[in-house]
Chains A and B, each alone.
Chain A
Amino acid sequence: MATTEKMTLNMGPQHPSTHGVLRLVLELDGEVITKITPDIGYLHRGVEKLSEHRTYHQTLPLTDRLDYLAPMSNNLGYILTVEKLLGIQVPERAQTIRIIMAEMARLQSHLVWLACHALDIGAMTVFLYCFREREVVMETYELISGARMTSNYFRAGGLSQDVPPEFEKKVRDFVESMPANIDTYEGLLTTNPIWRKRTIGNGVISAEDAIDIGITGPALRGSGVDWDLRRDIPYAGYENYAFEVPVGENCDTYDRYKVRLVEMRESCKIISQALDRLKPGPVLADEPQICYPPKENVYNSIEGLIHHFKIASEGYPVPEGEVYQGVEAPKGELGYYMVSDGSSKPYRMRVRPPSFVNLQAIEKMCLGSMIADLVAVIGTLDIVLGEIDR
């Protein structure tokens, strides 16, 4: 008589479809998944511990390395938290540029998501198209901050420097070309029978379960929950922009795909509105205690040099207190909880990464489905391990 037994299969951490160093221990009954035990922490760098030993200014570059597919979003969340502790306002131009860059980060992150998600399921062409467009975002990063990925561009009180004159045209050209590009991706996927077969009814999670597990971002909206921090608990001036929040119905991978595509179109609209409002003006608040002096003062006067040196070596004192600030990062709610003891270093800096919480849902979404569907679910959750492991 034939007997059957369950098989344990190791997937990752070096597996191209796990989007980084995610390891999953799968228990399989034939091809059907009966248990998933995620194993994370391979990329743990101790960002929270490190930040306790650095000034607020020195901690900022660490945040680039969390969700390295959308560094500006991480910068924004961190800087808003510090500014909330400090209680300072930023000039309008700086705020507008921040919104442009945060939405560019969303486009960048969603492009990488679409590229890898489609590649995992077998659509190679989309991958190449998406990376072509992502390159423009990277060039914009380089144009304004000097780095393609680790931007480190925002400062408490504004920006590290103003954008160069060619910035506006570059971003506007990009945003104007994007709707047609998104049409191209949709043309390749939305009605593609293979794509539909692989994604419709895959990775279903109900709205109640999604909220219970704490999923946020496009994955939550794909399950039909109308919740977007940019609109519902606005920050950084998002309340002044008009945009739609797409919501799915069937709670499956296909709906999450559609939600993210609409989000990309909405991001383009937000960027266009922001570009229309971009007026010349200062990009750093008039807060000499906190903000670096202009470079010409540093080079040409001893007072400017001392001023620069003092902020660089000692940092700036931050009032005692604790705040939490959440932003709608491309992958969900990115939150920073910061406790200050009045010194120039954070007493405690906690990063609430969206991917970490969203990844918890993987077992619920995959139990009873085939192992090939797991790859689609990892793609649709849109995780990034730099942020999960910190």
Chain B
Amino acid sequence: MPENNRAVIKLKEKFAASIVEVAEFRGDVTVTVKKEDLLAVLSFLKQSLQYNLLTDVTAVDYLGKKADRFMMVYQLCSIPNKDRLRIKAAVSEGDCRVQSTTQVWATANWLEREVYDLFGISFDNHPDLRRILMTPEWEGHPLRKDYPLQGPDREPYKGRLS
């Protein structure tokens, strides 16, 4: 049960107002928090609960599926406690920006650049926010759901003819 997770117990004590949802699926515990408190929650998890390794930062585009289009996803790992935790925060298309976590983990630098490059979510206080995989002059953000698979200037793929 997610209620018994050590991080969930502490987060409920300290950030009761910021937690939007706590879920568990196949043993993975996910805590969704409000975007405004994201940085505070993540720093707390690192400083007080020993989630010292930021494994991954990514985003998901829920175009047309959810009220807030994007979801930031942070995978945390605790080396001393050997457990994982996933923190998510919804980001709306109108206010497409999040606080950078580079102050908490240096890992976030390139991972956030990738999210910026492929999803177009920008990060406040990021030291070096540039595109990373696409070329600097590239237009659009390829991992958005409304970005065509074949690229912007080509006929859409109509499936195999055979």
Q: Give me the interface of A with B, judged by CB distance under 8 Å.
A: 40-41, 44, 46, 48-50, 53, 84-85, 87, 209, 211-214, 216, 225, 227, 232-233, 321-324, 326, 333, 335, 337, 339, 341, 347-348, 350, 352, 356-357, 359-360, 389-390
Contact = CB atoms under 8 A, between A and B. Distances in A.
Given A227-B79, A233-B84, A213 B107 contact: yes
Contacts, number: 94
Interface in B83-98: 83-84, 86
Contact of B56 (A40, A46, A335): A335
A323 B105 contact: no
B133 interface: yes
A335 B77 CA distance: 12
A239 to B, nearest CB: 12
Interface residues of B, number: 39
A321 to B, nearest CB: 4
Nearest to B133: A41
B110 interface: yes
A352 B105 contact: no
Given A49-B143, A324-B56, 9 more contacts: A44-B133, A211-B79, A212-B106, A323-B26, A324-B84, A352-B56, A356-B114, A360-B106, A390-B133
A151 B60 CA distance: 29
Interface of B: 25-26, 28, 30, 52-56, 58, 60-61, 65, 73, 75, 77, 79, 82-84, 86, 105-107, 109-111, 114, 118, 131-135, 142-143, 147, 149, 157
A234 to B, nearest CB: 10
A139 to B, nearest CB: 34
A324 B107 contact: no
29 contacts: A40-B132, A41-B132, A49-B147, A53-B149, A84-B26, A85-B26, A211-B53, A212-B105, A213-B107, A214-B107, A216-B53, A321-B25, A324-B55, A324-B75, A326-B77, A326-B84, A333-B55, A335-B56, A335-B75, A337-B56, A337-B75, A341-B65, A350-B56, A352-B56, A352-B75, A356-B110, A356-B114, A357-B110, A360-B107
A389 B117 CA distance: 13
A381 B134 CA distance: 23
A193 B142 CA distance: 50
Task: Across the A-B interface, give the 5 residue pairs with the lowest CB-CB distance, nearest first.
Answer: A214-B107, A41-B133, A352-B56, A321-B25, A350-B58
Contacts of A322: 25, 28, 30
Contacts of A41: 131-135
B160 to A, nearest CB: 11
A232 B82 contact: yes
